[in-house]
Structure 1
Amino acid sequence: MHIAIVDYGMGNLRSVSQALQHVAPECNITIASDPAEILRSDRVVLPGQGAMPDCMKQLRSSGLMDAVMQSVREKPLFGICVGEQMLFEESEERKPGVTTNTACLALMPGKVKRFHLSGTQEDGSEFKIPHMGWNQVRQDRDHPMWHGIPDMTSFYFVHSYYVEVANPEDTVGSTNYGGWFTSAVARDTIFATQFHPEKSAQYGLKLYQNFVAWRP
């Protein structure tokens, strides 16, 4: 099996590659900057980190966007962090006094929004942005990618934006940080998480193992 990790210049590619090699040593894991390699692969991982305008600009200028769009129609795709957010229609970007929207891939209906948090956490500290560290994920519906992973397992997050889905059925995982937000989505050949499985120890590796075995 050939798994291609999309290399458009924005993502923690080496950690993702190492996690996949650990759980699937028999697979050919490549960090792919060539559209043909993505199209030849059996599965695709779309990571991402940083600001959405930069990520979308890089994906387009790299020449990889069309290969990603075609791959989604043909094979399993795992989106991670900004790679999850990119799957939706648009992302709001806030600067002092200005709010703009960045067009995304529109593979799933919904928008990406910035956290607006107030009040205090259970320990008395204020909510911070970015949301950073370990937090639990509630499994909102059954999915093969959750196989062997207990409900309310903790995963590692680093993000200031979150997905607001238009179709509640697309949400397969939610997390509470000043209110519940969508932290995992799935539709057809797509599964994607706001958290970083490659930074999430045992059960993060289990997610990658499930991705290798998943037959959507």
Structure 2
Amino acid sequence: MSWLEQRVHVIDFEGSVRTGVVEYGVVTLRAGRIEGVETAVCRPRRAVPAEEARVHGLGGDAVRAAAGFEAAWPLFAALRETGVLAAHFSSAEESMLRSYWPCPRLSPDWLEPGREVATWGPWIDTGRIAAERVPAGASVALEDLVARFGLGEALAELAGEFCPAERRRFHCALFDALACALLLLEFAGGGGSRAPWSLARLLAASTADKKTREARSQPRLPGF
């Protein structure tokens, strides 16, 4: 099955282990198009250090008056149930989710039809995929990849449509999620003579572990 047939929720968080999530952005893809977006600022667990605020631009009254990320449980539980989660180097997003909720509700495995699991994965990881697409030692930071693959104009257009006016730059959660979504479509969406990737191939390419990659690449028989 092509991954384009499956709903994919691209996620980005701003924050840290110390502060928790201070902003989230979600871009939902279906059939290669944006089906919807979500974004919100969240009250941190602790005061945001000045050095972190300089990176993402969030702190002070803007975050203290917001609801904590705990209030977003219904949204993120539903995201896990309704689509595959994706992120740029997904270990960061998964760690953040697990620091609030160790596991979601029982949700589709996505690798084996009919099977349910209580895990946040498997993830689509554009960072892992990018590392195989660029020369050894080249940057795989979102900003650099957007420039390398000529996606800046498309990103600016989407940001103008979906992002709050003051959050249209890198290190803003929805902006970064849009960048990740564009990279995913660039890497695996097909076009020209290229066919879209299967979901199994995409998930296999998203892990650094060789055994896991091989296992995900193998067709599964019902009941196994």
Q: Same fold (TM over 0.5)?
A: no
Kindly name which structure, 1 or 2, has the bigger radius of gyration based on alpha carbons: 2
**When you count helix as a share of all residues, which structure comes out higher?**
2
When you count strand as a share of all residues, which structure comes out higher?
A: 1
